[in-house]
Amino acid sequence: MAYDVSNPLDGEFDLGRAGPFAPVWIATLRVVVGWWFFHAGVTKLIESGLNFTAGPGYLQGMSGTVLGPVAVWMATTMPGVIEAIVPLAETLIGLALIAGALVRLASFGGAIFMAFFWVGNAEFGHGVVNGDLMGLLLFVTLLVLGAGRYYGLDAVFERLELVENHPRLKHLLG
């Protein structure tokens, strides 16, 4: 008796078995996550401009966590940079996801944010699963699935001559 030990997901990822609504769902997920981050960033920009003073304080509050040394170092050595980066990055990550442009790069940035939030809010009163972990998983899902290829600008960018001549750029797209 022979067993088929091949991996059905080996090689090119195909959503054909998932039905015709899978690309629509992935695009919807991308846009909703993008709106979530865009709204968070724009709200901070409207309320405090590039002086989001809660950022460095939040990072210093992570002193007892796994990422504590990195977070405290960032908060003490570059508070002005953190104040500006948080609202700008959230806004740009959100815009990129909504448009479906540079989705893998934007999703990686969003995953970094959510990892900091998850560890920073690590009281884990309800276990390790909380909203921050769900956000982290959403960003990783968008990154892995190449969600920008579904009704997003990344599908257009991948056909550009620049990207075809430099295939490594496709790792930022999708």
Task: Provide the greatest CA pair distance for the chain.
Answer: 68
- Res. 4: pLDDT tops 60: no
Residues belonging to the chain = 174
Q: What's the whole-model pTM score?
A: 0.82
* pLDDT for position 83: 81
* pLDDT for position 125: 65
- Res. 105: pLDDT tops 90: yes
CB 172 within 8 Å of CB 153: no
Please tell me the least confidently modeled range out of 11-20, 51-60, 116-125. 11-20
